Chains A and B, each alone.
Chain A
Amino acid sequence: AQSVAQPEDQVNVAEGNPLTVKCTYSVSGNPYLFWYVQYPNRGLQFLLKYITGDNLVKGSYGFEAEFNKSQTSFHLKKPSALVSDSALYFCAVRDGGNDYKLSFGAGTTVTVRA
């Protein structure tokens, strides 16, 4: 079984401040971890992924995430948030199996105020 927890429904930050969106996961094998962003009435856009290698992953639009195996976490970060980063963020996980099924967290709404 695999699952994802995003403990915060909402994150509010001021523009220019650091942004962190938390994610913890549970998976039976090696985790494949993903972050997606969704704007209103749109599909999901891929931000970044961790499969193997360096624990710090850099992705699109200045976002990065750090894989922490001991804490089973994959928090999304951005050093300086923009108003345009306001959106719904989903963390997802799958094990290394061949069905490629993703399990998504409940999502975190990020609001960046000017």
Chain B
Amino acid sequence: GAVVSQHPSWVICKSGTSVKIECRSLDFQATTMFWYRQFPKQSLMLMATSNEGSKATYEQGVEKDKFLINHASLTLSTLTVTSAHPEDSSFYICSARTGFAGVDEQFFGPGTRLTVL
């Protein structure tokens, strides 16, 4: 149980285009989803927190107009990188928590590697 999927697993795009990444909780309803960014051989940096049906909360320094997050249902959150540039190339990972009492850990997706040419 507690499986989180991401699609696509990797994407290559041209500079200036927009890319959408989906994060789905497959066998549970996720009250909260988190989006992280990970540079090679570095830790995860939290970008934003999204709750179903409400606006995402972005961490300091993250451009909300560039990284659009939508959490339309309890099983799906999307991250859209708008007008992507080479510096946006990274590994993007989402996680989800169930909201059940006693289940505190976040369940992570497999990640999406974005390469912007």
B interface size (C-beta, 8 A): 23
A34 contacts which of B4, B42, B105 (Cβ < 8 Å)? B105
A51–B102 Cα distance when bound, in Å, is: 9
Q: Is the CB of A43 within 8 A of B42?
A: no
- Nearest to B105 among chain A residues (CB) is A46
Q: Is the C-beta of B97 less than 8 angstroms from some C-beta in chain A?
A: yes
**B1-54 interface with A by 8 A CB criterion:** 4, 6, 32, 34, 41-44, 46, 49
Chain B residues in 8 Å Cβ range of A67: none
With A41-B111, A43-B4, A43-B111 as known contacts, state yes or no: A102 contacts B106, CB within 8 Å. Answer: yes
- Greatest chain B CB density within 10 A among A32, A49, A99, A104 is at A104
- Tally chain A residues at the interface, Cβ within 8 Å: 22
A83 part of interface (Cβ distance < 8 Å):
no
Contacts of A106 in B (CB 8 A): 42-43
- Contact A100/B32 with A41-B111, A42-B110 known, Cβ cut-off 8 Å: yes
Q: A41-B113, A43-B4, A44-B93 are in contact. Are A104 and B43 (CB under 8 A)?
A: yes
Contact of A43 with B109 at beta-carbon distance under 8 Å, contacts A101-B49, A106-B43, A107-B43 already known:
yes
Chain A residues in 8 Å Cβ range of B109: 43
By a beta-carbon cutoff of 8 Å, the part of chain A in contact with chain B is 32, 34, 36, 41-46, 49, 51, 90, 99-107, 109
Which residues of B line the A interface, CB within 8 A?
4, 6, 32, 34, 41-44, 46, 49, 91, 93, 95, 97, 104-111, 113
